[in-house]
């Protein structure tokens, strides 16, 4: 009876539990730390130079936000385009599209600057309580290749604490967690927090490189109204509208949204206001991101199949069609690739400084062969410097 009142805890059970906790700590710690290692990107034949974002703002040197900048330059002079992937690493089609451009596309005229991990810090963690996998796998003809799935915002280990209300450099009041959201931090500030310095470096790159047209790639949850869309700064609205028409003719359903003038801190607004570039943002549908999704897994990220979204579509709750086939990553990356190509084609009709790409697959190509066919094989090529 006395033993029962005192319980079964002894010094040796405490020690045994400490050992067990240490073992769990070791496994969990190794898993979390592994996310800080960049998975390789293999520059294709079109890449002529690899730099770092800190080349444009030394406030990023040695920080987890510094990221690789890939330049693809043609033999003939022309304009300069910027494509940003991985602003939100929980929107994988954006970074995968940028990686496909780096690994398979060449430039005939002008320059293409590609940043595949725009918020590199956000690739080092996932969202709390969302059950996201740390990686997903794409099948290439030579075998499977892993890619990192990350968070919407900068890793809180790298930038802490969040304020209750965040007022960004453009003066917009936002929820506190948005302080770590790169696409709420533009135009950034050189003396700000890590995300604001990252945003400032992006704007500096656009200014110093004389970027003529800048495209920020994203994904959205199927229940979010701005989806399958190009969001354009007013100076880029005609290009977006014309590109949308061509894309619709080619079977890619896409809409156009004008960048709201009173929603400050987003790329399509601040890049356009603070630089001379034509600022555009492109959205594709990501079922793994939405609140109505079922089981969260690497398969959901890649295959995009979710029965709960099918039911939601039947009830008219979504802004995109959603069938049993879902929205696989091949479709989402294919849409982004074709949209980038068409946007640049339309830009070329308005500008003497052409940017001409070769080898960009269309949506139909990617659906036919899979995005893996347009990526380097696993373990092949030269590793990225950061």
- Of 94, 157, 246, 279, the one binding other proteins (CB under 8 A) is 157
Residues 8-27 that bind other proteins (CB under 8 A): 8-9, 11, 13-14, 17-18, 20-21, 24-25
- Which residue, 12 or 249, has its beta carbon nearer to other proteins? 12
Contacts of 337 (CB under 8 A, 6+ apart): 97, 100, 101, 360, 361, 362, 363, 366
Binding string, residues 315-344; x marks residues near other proteins by CB under 8 A = ------------------------------
What are the helix (H) ranges across 120-263?
A: 194-208, 237-249
- Cα separations (Å) of 160 from 177, 189, 217? 10, 17, 26
- Which residue, 10 or 208, has its beta carbon nearer to other proteins? 10
Binding string, residues 111-140; x marks residues near other proteins by CB under 8 A = --------------x---------------
Count of residues that interact with other proteins, criterion CB under 8 A: 21
Q: Is 177 in the site for other proteins (CB under 8 A)?
A: no
- Which residue, 125 or 198, has its beta carbon nearer to other proteins? 125
Q: How far apart are CA 297 and CA 282, in angstroms?
A: 24
Question: Which two structure tokens, joined as six digits, stand for 305?
Answer: 């199949």
**CA nearest neighbour of 183 among 55, 53, 283:** 283
Q: How far apart are CA 181 and CA 196, in angstroms?
A: 9
- Of 6, 249, 349, 352, the one binding other proteins (CB under 8 A) is 6
**CA nearest neighbour of 347 among 175, 34, 110:** 110
Q: How far apart are CA 73 and CA 50, in angstroms?
A: 11
Q: How far apart are CA 372 and CA 100, in angstroms?
A: 9
User: To the nearest whole angstrom, how small is the minimum distance from the Cβ of residue 129 to other proteins?
Assistant: 13
Instruction: Find the angle CA(316)-CA(320)-CA(325) to the nearest 5 degrees.
Output: 100
Residues 27-56 that bind other proteins (CB under 8 A): 28-29, 32-33
Could you list the residues that contact other proteins (CB under 8 A)? 6-9, 11, 13-14, 17-18, 20-21, 24-25, 28-29, 32-33, 125, 157, 160-161
């Amino acid at each position: 009876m006395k033993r029962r009142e005192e319980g079964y805890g002894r010094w040796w059970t405490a020690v045994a539990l400490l050992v067990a906790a240490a073992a769990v700590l070791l496994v969990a710690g190794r898993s979390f730390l592994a996310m800080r290692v960049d998975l390789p990107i293999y520059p294709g034949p079109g890449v002529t130079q690899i730099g770092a974002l800190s080349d444009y703002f030394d406030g990023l040197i040695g920080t987890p936000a510094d990221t690789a900048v890939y330049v693809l330059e043609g033999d003939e002079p022309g304009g300069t385009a910027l494509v940003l992937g991985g602003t939100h690493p929980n929107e994988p089609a954006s970074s995968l599209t940028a990686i496909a451009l780096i690994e398979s596309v060449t430039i005939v005229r002008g320059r293409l600057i590609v940043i595949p991990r725009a918020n590199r810090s956000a690739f080092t963690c996932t969202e709390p309580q969302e059950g996201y996998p740390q990686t997903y796998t794409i099948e290439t003809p030579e075998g499977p290749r892993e890619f990192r799935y990350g968070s919407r915002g900068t890793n809180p280990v790298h930038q802490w604490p969040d304020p209750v209300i965040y007022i960004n450099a453009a003066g917009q009041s936002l929820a506190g967690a948005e302080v770590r959201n790169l696409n709420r931090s533009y135009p950034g500030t050189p003396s700000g927090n890590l995300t604001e310095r990252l945003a400032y470096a992006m704007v500096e790159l656009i200014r110093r490189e004389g970027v003529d047209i800048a495209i920020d790639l994203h994904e959205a949850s199927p229940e979010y109204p701005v989806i399958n869309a190009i969001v354009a700064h007013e100076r880029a609205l005609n290009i977006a509208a014309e590109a949308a028409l061509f894309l619709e003719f080619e079977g890619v359903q896409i809409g156009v949204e004008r960048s709201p003038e009173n929603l400050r801190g987003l790329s399509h607004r601040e890049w356009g206001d603070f630089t001379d570039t034509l600022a555009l943002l492109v959205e594709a549908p990501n079922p793994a991101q939405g609140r109505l999704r079922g089981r969260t897994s690497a398969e959901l990220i890649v295959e995009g199949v979710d029965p709960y979204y099918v039911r939601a579509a039947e009830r008219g709750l979504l802004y995109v069609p959603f069938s049993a086939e879902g929205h696989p990553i091949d479709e989402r990356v294919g849409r982004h690739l074709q949209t980038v190509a068409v946007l640049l084609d339309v830009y070329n009709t308005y500008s003497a400084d052409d940017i001409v790409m070769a080898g960009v697959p269309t949506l139909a190509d990617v659906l036919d062969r899979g995005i893996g066919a347009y990526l380097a094989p696993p373990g092949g090529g030269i590793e990225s410097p950061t």
